[in-house]
Amino acid sequence: MELFEKKIKKDAAKISPLADRMRPGNIDEVVGQRHLLGPEKFITRLLEKKELLSLILWGPPGAGKTSLANIIANAIGVNFVSFSAVLSGVKDIRAVIDEAKDELRLRGRRTILFVDEIHRFNKAQQDAFLHYVEDGTITLIGATTENPSFEVNAPLLSRCKVLLLEQLAEEDLKVIIKRAMEDKERGLGNLNCALEEDAVRFLAEYAHGDARAALNGLEASVMITRQDKDGMRRITLKSMQEAVQKMALLYDKEGEEHYNVISAFIKSMRGSDPDAALYWLARMLEAGEDPLFIARRMVIFASEDIGNADPNAISVAVAVKDAVDFVGMPEGWIPLAHGVTYLAAAPKSNASYLAYLEALEDVRKKGALPVPLHIRNAPTGLMKKLGYGKGYKYPHNYEGAKVEQDYLPDALKGKKYYNPTDRGYDKEISERLKIIKKK
């Protein structure tokens, strides 16, 4: 019977996703989380002593929460039951408790109950664990991407040790990717694949610290790459980008002129040509274009192309939108013409627009960088113990409400995104920022 069960597991492993097959089987295979798994660290010492402790594993997706729970159970040699809070209810919890009682009574083995996405359980469902965690029937390991201070009941939280898992670094992901390429038993080692270094680097950046996303992307790239005449799948940067691409939105080709004219309208205002902008406005209205569509584009334009060169522009654009909505057509062209001439003649600055795009590029390249501890909010005791808010300097307590202090993540210290122009009110903002920096 055992041989039959082993064969079933082996066959299932062959068709399971790469990310599932490559889960680390022991503590030596875990990549990252050195603050928990290094010599003399918490998890390492727990496994050495073979002690059971209820835990809440809090960390981003793909950081290894499920794998860590499996490793703890295997290393200590206990019964391991896993289920998802998304799919399970109180009835399932009771069944697990009964199984745990039988396991302890008949075999003398304790049970680790692993609850993925424990934050999705409501108060009643979480309360169902309390007594059995308290009396040792089960050892609970919950995994969550959400702050347990807010998502886990206080009585249950007090019975668990919270471990904060860190987002995997790009170098960690590169190790995981290359390991999957080389592993002949669980990975892609038997498929004659060659992976360019640029493709590895791209995938590690794309995954944003998520090992599952990295392995899914790797598997997709192998699937779409054809074998060459030598029977080799050569995965290039281009094929990797193709594998993880996001679907692009398509416009209706029958509406091409619609987009041509609105483009001409926006570019005329951007070029400070009120006459051309009025012509394209008239073209659109005469053709039956929705006036609120035009007004919405003007609101966007006021921020994107004028910005702080004339802070009143956004107010004018929003007022035009409200006026058109209130008055309607046919008179709605009057406030539209009023707004178009103002926006076209206003000084231009796209500094705030470009600043956001630069910040967005860092977000996409570097992922969700940790918020510096000193500027995190600390409404709970647990968060204070973890160092949230420690060392924060309240600006209003300092002269000019300004104090030297870092607000960006460590990896972006000193980064400058916003560079005001010397046009309109932008120039005054630029001078003010220089004075603040000098102080």
Q: How confident is the model over 308-367, as pLDDT tens digits?
A: 899 999 999 999 999 999 998 889 999 999 999 999 999 999 999 999 999 998 888 888
Does a structural domain hold residue 397?
A: no
Instruction: Assign 14 a pLDDT band (cuts: 50, 70, 90).
Output: low
Give yes or no for a cis peptide into 370 (omega within 30° of 0): no
Does a structural domain hold residue 391?
A: no
Q: If you average pLDDT over every residue of the chain, what do you get? A: 84
Task: Give the closest residue to 238 by CA, choosing from 189, 210, 275, 203.
Answer: 203
Cα-to-chain-centroid distance, residue 141: 23
Residues 287 and 190 occupy one common structural domain: no
- pLDDT reported for residue 15: 67
- pLDDT reported for residue 9: 47
- What CATH number is given to the structural domain containing 216? 1.10.8.60
* Domain stops at, among 311, 345, 379: 345
- What CATH number is given to the structural domain containing 62? 3.40.50.300
Residues 64 and 145 occupy one common structural domain: yes
Say yes or no to pLDDT of 120 above 90: no
Residues 211 and 131 occupy one common structural domain: no
* Domain stops at, among 345, 364, 386: 345
Q: What is the pLDDT of residues 171-218, one digit of tens each?
A: 999 999 999 999 988 888 888 888 889 899 989 888 888 899 899 999
- What CATH number is given to the structural domain containing 327? 1.20.272.10
Does a structural domain hold residue 101?
A: yes
Least confident segment among 74-88, 321-335, 378-392, 408-422? 74-88
Pairing type for strands 193-195 and 161-164 reads unpaired
Instruction: Assign 415 a pLDDT band (cuts: 50, 70, 90).
Output: confident
Does a structural domain hold residue 104?
A: yes
Q: Starting at the edge strand that comes first in sequence, how are the strands of the sheet with 55-58 ordered?
A: 79-84, 111-116, 138-144, 55-58, 161-164
Q: What is the pLDDT of residues 256-292, one digit of tens each?
A: 567 788 889 999 999 988 999 999 999 888 877 889 9
Residues 186 and 88 occupy one common structural domain: no
Integer Cα distance of 259 and 191 in angstroms = 47
Helices (H), 16-122: 18-21, 34-37, 42-48, 65-76, 90-107
Q: Which domain holds residue 192?
A: 170-244
Does a structural domain hold residue 398?
A: no
Integer Cα distance of 305 and 426 in angstroms = 12
Count of structural domains, the chain = 3
Residues 206 and 87 occupy one common structural domain: no
Residues 132 and 182 occupy one common structural domain: no
Residues 82 and 118 occupy one common structural domain: yes
